[in-house]
Structure 1
Amino acid sequence: MQSCELGVVKYILFTFNLIFAISGVGLIVAGAFVLSDVGEFEHFMEGRILAPPVVLIVAGCIVFLVASLGCYGAIRESYYMLMAFALCLLIILIIELAVGIAAAVYKNDFQMSMKDIMKSSMQRFENSKSDRVAWNNLQTKLKCCGVEGPADWPENTRPVSCCHAIREGVNPPEAHHCRAAKPEDEILYVDGCFYQLQDKAESAAKILIGVGIGIAFVEVIGIILACWLASAVKNKD
């Protein structure tokens, strides 16, 4: 009976680890997708805002390696390798939970920090090439203007990237600034870039949370199976 139990659990765990290895690749892909989607606007974000997708990529790499350990331990029926596998899964799970909790707790701080960075960058717009490039890229791609709206820019320094229409004689293509009679003029993007960037960051966070919950569920199953097989191996010995 013990031999039958051992064989069944061993092959279940081996199959699980193949699926687990694939999920590690999924973590890497999800983290890379979010990082590429949000990372192009890193000029306005602190490193801690970009940390979760980086952690996810690193976790994906570790998951892939740990899954390999689990497969090897299952085939060899090694009690110590199986327990090491379960411990590694538990550590990864704790790290993922810690990152998720930290992101939730400091969410408002992240937002305020991002807004302050954007305002500081706006003040350097005229004298800093990197800030000009960053703002023009942000406003063009997200179809927005200013931090909270067009009124954030003094009219004589409002970038042409704030314009979604060019009027003959008013905003020629070679113009450096977007001139409008009033901030709400129809040639300007009316949405502030902070809110657009915030929406993009929150969408990325939902992807990370969804993937993280799915992987956490898989990790709990892996810990249970590894401990079960390790117990069966110990009883056999």
Structure 2
Amino acid sequence: MGANKDKKEPCGTVCLKYLLFAFNFFFWLAGGAVMGVGIWTLGVKSDYISLLSSKTYAASAYILVLAGVIVMVTGVLGCCATFREQRKLLLVYFILLLCIFLLEILAGVLAYVYNKQLNEELKQNLRETMTQKYKQSSQEHVTRAVDKLQQEFKCCGSNSSSDWAESAWIRTRDAAGRMVPDSCCKTLTEFCGRRDHPSNIYKVEGGCITQLEKFILDHLKIIGGVGVGIACVQVIGMVFTCYLYKSLKETY
């Protein structure tokens, strides 16, 4: 299939080419999946990122997006290198595979490390973020994230609804007599936050910290699993590439 046809290709070389082509096709699909997980984290769940002081969670998602894009480009390059029998292209392909492998291992490691420090970070920062930044000027993204958090996970306050007594916003006229934000209410209506009785607002044990921690931990497992899982599959591709490179070198 390449320019050199003076020698008949050994059966092993032909098999390796088709195996590597099949690998690249599935690798290309996997790249789309990796990129999709990263985009989902940054897009659909981006509001919650603003509630975290550390950028590790976002960084691991950005790494997955970058790795996914490179994977898809590399998959196409791998197919071209395989059927054109270009050893230089195969070498470039191998180097790109190695770079992607390292990126995805990095994403997995970041997810694992952040998994260990998440609880302490939330304990130290979430309460202050919710009470001091909610409904403050230039903090609309935090307000949106807090409202979404309390409604989606049916919770109120960082540890409990009583946290809102320390809110900078609750103490102002703008709160209009509310004791908690309206997003704490079981039935969301304007000014429903004026009544903080358990029949009206969410009283979840552990507050929103517990709910947000569980959500992020579950998602970190997805990020880490996808990153490390695809990286392990790439080892197969790198082995196929090395054998094909060696086989073409011996044949031509």
TM bracket (short chain)? 0.7 to 0.9
1:158 aligned onto 2:180: yes
5+ long unaligned stretches in structure 1: 167-172
Partner of 2:38: 31
Out of 80, 83, 87, the residue aligned to residue 75 of structure 1 is 83
Q: Matched residues, percent identical?
A: 31
1:230 aligned onto 2:245: yes
Partner of 1:170: none
- Report the CA distance shift for 1:175/1:30 in structure 2 as closer, same or farther (over 3 A): same
Q: Is the 8 A contact 1:163 1:178 kept in 2?
A: no
Q: Deviation per CA, 1:73-94, whole angstroms, max 9, x where unpaired?
A: 1111122221221222122112
Alignment length (residue pairs): 228
TM superposition shift of 1:126: 5.5
TM superposition shift of 1:5: 1.7
1:187 aligned onto 2:200: yes
Secondary structure in 1 aligned to 2:94? helix
Out of 107, 112, 116, the residue aligned to residue 124 of structure 2 is 116
- Report the CA distance shift for 1:210/1:108 in structure 2 as closer, same or farther (over 3 A): closer
Matches of residues 199-214 of structure 1 in structure 2 within 5 Å? 199-214=214-229
Q: Which amino acid aligns with 1:35?
A: L
- Report the CA distance shift for 1:232/1:140 in structure 2 as closer, same or farther (over 3 A): same
* Rounded Cα–Cα distance in structure 1 between residues aligned with 2:96 and 2:156: 47
- Report the CA distance shift for 1:50/1:115 in structure 2 as closer, same or farther (over 3 A): farther
Partner of 1:169: none
1:136 aligned onto 2:147: yes
Q: Which amino acid aligns with 2:241?
A: A
Q: Is the 8 A contact 1:28 1:56 kept in 2?
A: yes
Q: Deviation per CA, 1:153-187, whole angstroms, max 9, x where unpaired?
A: 21964212212158xxxxxx331634235xxx332
Q: Which amino acid aligns with 1:164?
A: K
Partner of 1:10: 17
User: Structure 1 length normalisation: TM-score?
Assistant: 0.85
**Which region of structure 1 is more displaced relative to structure 2, 227-236 or 92-101?**
92-101
TM superposition shift of 1:2: 5.7
* Rounded Cα–Cα distance in structure 1 between residues aligned with 2:118 and 2:16: 45
**Which region of structure 1 is more displaced relative to structure 2, 2-11 or 104-113?**
104-113
Higher relative contact order (CA 8 A, sep 6+): 1
* Rounded Cα–Cα distance in structure 2 between residues aligned with 1:134 and 1:30: 20
* Rounded Cα–Cα distance in structure 2 between residues aligned with 1:75 and 1:126: 59
User: Structure 2 length normalisation: TM-score?
Assistant: 0.80
TM superposition shift of 1:215: 1.1
* Rounded Cα–Cα distance in structure 2 between residues aligned with 1:125 and 1:68: 47
Q: Is the 8 A contact 1:18 1:67 kept in 2?
A: yes
TM superposition shift of 1:220: 0.7
Partner of 1:88: 96
* Rounded Cα–Cα distance in structure 1 between residues aligned with 2:128 and 2:220: 25
Q: Is the 8 A contact 2:127 2:158 kept in 1?
A: yes
* Rounded Cα–Cα distance in structure 2 between residues aligned with 1:202 and 1:106: 9
**Which region of structure 1 is more displaced relative to structure 2, 185-194 or 20-29?**
185-194
Q: Superposition RMSD on alpha carbons, in Å?
A: 2.4
Matches of residues 165-180 of structure 1 in structure 2 within 5 Å? 165=187, 173-175=189-191, 177-180=193-196
